[in-house]
Amino acid sequence: MSDKISKLSQAIRLGATFRPHGRAKLWTVFGDGVIKSCALGAAYEAVFGLPQSHHENDGIDGNHYTKLQGRFPELKAKFNGFGSDFVCLQDNITKANDNHGMSREQIADELERIGL
């Protein structure tokens, strides 16, 4: 969506304004029809828009992750943070969002603090 977004923290922060916070998948849709996004789903949507396939495979699509990694290669880099023992930044963000109860804004704050 925006080529002016240069940092992952910016993408997460902007995408978080589009819809409520979700967990476990890039996008989740419950019975009420409300689409929710996790931190990485928010980043994806801020940069690329909400894909037509957001509802397929319960919001899990390896192509979306690959596309996001292409825009933000630091997602594949080793990272030890958010109180997690996962190796790459992408997995740490997922763990912070899904298991540590961090909001997307808190995740963006932490990434911004370290220059991402």
**DSSP string covering 37-77:** E-HHHHHHHHHH---GGGGGGGG--HHHHHHHHHH-GGGGS
Yes or no: say if 15 and 43 are a contact pair by the CB < 8 Å rule. yes
**Residue 52 exposure: Cα atoms within 13 Å on the Cβ side:** 0
Question: 95 or 55, which is more confident?
Answer: 95
- Look at residue 45 in the predicted model and tell me its pLDDT: 95
Closest CA to 96 of 115, 80, 112: 80
- At 62-92, the pLDDT tens digits run 788 999 999 999 999 988 777 666 689 999 9
Specify which residues 21 forms β-bridges with: 37
pLDDT exceeds 60 at position 5: yes
